[in-house]
Amino acid sequence: MDNHSIKVNYCSTGKVKPKSDELEFGRIFTDHMFIMDYSDSLGWHDARIIPYQPLLIDPSAMVFHYGQSVFEGLKAYHTPEGDAQLFRPKKNLERINRSNDRLCIPELDEEFALHAIKQLVGIDKDWIPKADGTSLYIRPFIISTEAYLGVAPSRHYQFIVILSPVGAYYKEGINPVKIAVENKYVRTVAGGTGEAKTGGNYAASLKAQELVANSGYAQVLWLDGVEREYIEEVGSMNVFFKINGEIVTPALNGSILKGVTRDSVIELLKHWDIPVVERKISMQELYDAHENGSLEEAFGAGTAAVISPIGQLTWNGDHIIINNAETGSVSKKLYDTLTGIQYGKQEDPFGWIEKVKAVSKVK
């Protein structure tokens, strides 16, 4: 197939767009979606943009039974000049291919997938909300669609991209949250699928999350699955600590997801000459740092919240209050800089931004 040809079938009448202040996360979808099929004989083929609609899938499709699927999450932002732009989308496409490899899903052509995402966002550009902190969430995903109950890699897949206008994560300003350290359940283990962005990791995380949500905690802090000692992630975000002036984040160990935000935080800190290290860090070390007064800040980092300060960590009944449960200066500076670049309000010295051209609907 011509690598850059995507058939487009526009919807006849667009849906009514929601008001910016009524937006939640992931409940409303735009007018169009991208879809492309894979079969062993044809490879990836039949790339098309069509009106947003339900899928017709056989109940025996492998994705329903054995969870062979991957996904990504990134955003399109509206700039003060009226442009639409993406933040480091190539990183997401590199990652979906790493996830594909782990899940035995055929590789995507990253350049073509980026082209498809840009064309889809360009067509639904008017769906990017404009109010402060709002954005258009982009959800690319791949499902295994072969109608077969045998346990083996599927021979058929669909790569789909859907778009959802989302509200501001922080409606009343960036706010520290309470986190419970999880001692019983683990998200994943090294050698498992933790490094892949796959639905099963999320299914495995729900129980722990639900148990602590009732007691007022926003998320759990995940520890390693072998020793239950070393810190891995917070909820579905990567985690950072400021100890004695130095920023520490758990080193990638085979179960931690390599976040694009994590990577961007590390690059920004280096750019500012703030010391940053990736290494193993145990819960005991963190507790001791708190006791001796050297634990200065803690925060999660991910696409949805960008930076989420941690005000309290509860571990075996001890409440560790961090920075008076206030947002720390490094957390704040990272949040302001990352969102400044994403929304085109600040210089992008790293080349992280990719512009999206509006696509006019010629039928």
Ligand X SMILES: *Cc1c(COP(=O)(O)O)cnc(C)c1O
Q: Which residues bind ligand X (CB under 6 A)?
A: 73, 197, 233, 236-238, 257, 259-262, 302-303
In the structure encoding, which two tokens stand for residue 87, read together?
A: 């933040």
Q: Give min distance, CB of 256 to ligand X, in A.
A: 7
φ and ψ of 296, to 5 deg = -100, -35
Q: How far is CA 215 from the centre of its chain?
A: 26
CA dist list (Å): 227 to 152, 183, 232, 255, 283: 32, 10, 12, 13, 11
Phi-psi region of 344 (alpha: psi -120 to 50; beta: other; left: phi over 0): left
Cα 257 from Cα 225, distance rounded (Å): 14
Q: Give min distance, CB of 258 to ligand X, in A.
A: 8
Q: Give min distance, CB of 240 to ligand X, in A.
A: 12
Q: 262 or 290: whose CB is closer to ligand X?
A: 262
Q: Specify whether the CB–CB gap between 305 and 171 falls below 8 A.
A: no
Q: Give min distance, CB of 45 to ligand X, in A.
A: 28
Q: Give min distance, CB of 264 to ligand X, in A.
A: 8
Q: 238 or 312: whose CB is closer to ligand X?
A: 238
Q: Specify whether the CB–CB gap between 221 and 180 falls below 8 A.
A: yes
Q: Specify whether the CB–CB gap between 239 and 281 falls below 8 A.
A: no
Query: Pick from 244, 260, 269, 241: which is nearest to 337 by CA?
Result: 269
Enumerate residues 6+ apart whose C-beta is below 8 A from 100. Answer: 70, 106, 107, 108, 142
Q: State the chain's maximal CA–CA distance in angstroms.
A: 67
Query: Pick from 281, 282, 226: which is nearest to 250 by CA?
Result: 281
Q: 60 or 350: whose CB is closer to ligand X?
A: 350
Q: Give min distance, CB of 251 to ligand X, in A.
A: 15
Q: 48 or 139: whose CB is closer to ligand X?
A: 139
Q: Give min distance, CB of 102 to ligand X, in A.
A: 13
Q: 143 or 260: whose CB is closer to ligand X?
A: 260
Cα 117 from Cα 113, distance rounded (Å): 6
Q: 123 or 249: whose CB is closer to ligand X?
A: 249
Residue written as token pair 């917070």:
234
Q: 232 or 297: whose CB is closer to ligand X?
A: 232
